[in-house]
């Protein structure tokens, strides 16, 4: 192959890559900030009785819904970032459709601290059903956005030419599992709020197991 021509090809590839690199960097930023803002919902406990070590320990332990919500949200968003990364590695450039769907996904990701805070506040109260339904409903929206992102990304117009059919088939198959499970969690939340949170927690372990890199 002629070096000059190869240079050109390489230059075009770089230029195409640059198109999504800033989009990926911006998305990474939103994911990283949303995941780190979650900690702001865990409040330093304040209590009326004397500030002794046992009072503080008790107050810290009573905040378990905050920790459960934080851990579930953190690892779900983290796994979603990993899958966002997997999808975008197959994307050559971003058109309006992909930009719009990605924006919708980022919106729901950035808002995750809100339902997390609601669950942290109300999981231990009799308002738990509504709080958990909001929480599961949010993750349902995110999984639908992911489905849309996959559909927008795996079109010949934006995909890299070297994407193997096997990879695409595997990714297509696995993403269909998300929405039905989150629908189930949302539907059972009014009756078994804690079970709904558990389903959301288990999902990220499932997504993590599906990740294959290197």
Nearest approach, Cβ of residue 91 and a copy of itself (Å)? 10
Q: Which of 12, 62, 64, 157 binds a copy of itself (CB under 8 A)?
A: 157
4 binds a copy of itself (CB under 8 A): yes
Query: What is the C-alpha to C-alpha distance for residues 44 and 75, in angstroms, rounded to an integer?
Result: 22
- Interacting residues with a copy of itself between 100 and 139 (CB under 8 A): 100, 103, 106-107, 110-114, 117-118, 121-122, 125-131, 134
Q: Is 202 an interacting residue with respect to a copy of itself (CB under 8 A)?
A: no
In this chain, which stretch among 89-97, 135-143, 145-153, 195-203 interacts with a copy of itself, using CB under 8 A? Answer: 89-97
For the CB of residue 214, give the shortest distance to a copy of itself in the complex, in Å: 4
Which residues on adjacent β-strands are paired with residue 159? Answer: 91
Identified binder of a copy of itself from the candidate list 90, 141, 158, 197, rule CB under 8 A = 158
Closer residue to a copy of itself (CB): 14 or 180: 14
Residue number, 75 or 154, with CB nearest to a copy of itself: 75
Q: Which of residues 50-69 bind a copy of itself (CB under 8 A)?
A: 50-57, 60
CA 167/CA 172 separation, integer angstroms: 9
Q: Is 165 exposed, middle or buried (0-12, 13-18, 19+ CB in 10 A)?
A: exposed
> 160-189: which residues touch a copy of itself (CB under 8 A)?
none
The size of the interface with a copy of itself (CB under 8 A), counted in residues, is 79
Residue closer to a copy of itself, measured from CB, 115 or 180: 115
SS (H, E, C) the chain: CCHHHHHHHHHHHHHHHHHHHHHHHHHHHHHHHHHHHHHHHCCCCCCCCCCCHHHHHHHHHHCHHHHHHHHHHHHHHHHHHHHHHHHHCCECCCCHHHHHHHHHHHHHHHHCHHHHHHHHHHCCCCCHHHHHHHHHHHHHHHHHHHHHHHHHHCCCCCECCCCCHHHHHHHHHHHCCHHHHHHHHHHHCCCCHHHHHHHHHHHHHHHHHHCCCC
- CB nearer to a copy of itself: give 25 or 166: 25
Residue 95 found at the interface with a copy of itself (CB under 8 A): yes
Per-residue interface string for the shown chain with a copy of itself, residues 7-36, x marking contact by CB under 8 A: x--xx-------x--xxxxx-xxxxxxxxx
């Amino acid at each position: 192959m002629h070096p000059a021509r190869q240079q050109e090809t390489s230059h075009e590839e770089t230029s195409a890559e640059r198109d999504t690199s800033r989009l990926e960097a911006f998305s990474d930023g939103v994911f990283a900030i949303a995941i780190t803002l979650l900690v702001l919902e865990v409040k330093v406990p304040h209590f009326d009785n004397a500030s002794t070590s046992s009072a503080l320990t008790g107050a810290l332990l009573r905040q378990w819904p905050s920790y459960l919500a934080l851990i579930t949200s953190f690892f779900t968003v983290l796994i979603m970032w990993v899958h966002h990364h997997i999808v975008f590695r197959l994307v050559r450039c971003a058109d309006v459709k992909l930009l719009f769907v990605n924006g919708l996904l980022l919106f729901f990701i950035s808002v995750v601290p809100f339902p997390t805070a609601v669950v942290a506040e109300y999981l231990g109260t009799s308002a738990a059903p509504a709080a958990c339904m909001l929480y599961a409903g949010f993750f349902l929206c995110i999984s639908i956005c992911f489905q849309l992102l996959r559909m927008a990304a795996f079109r010949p117009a934006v995909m890299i030419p070297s994407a193997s059919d096997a990879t695409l088939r595997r990714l297509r198959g696995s993403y269909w599992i998300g929405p039905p499970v989150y629908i189930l969690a949302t539907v059972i939340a009014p009756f078994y709020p804690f079970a709904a949170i558990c389903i959301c927690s288990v999902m990220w372990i499932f997504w993590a197991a599906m990740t294959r890199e290197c």
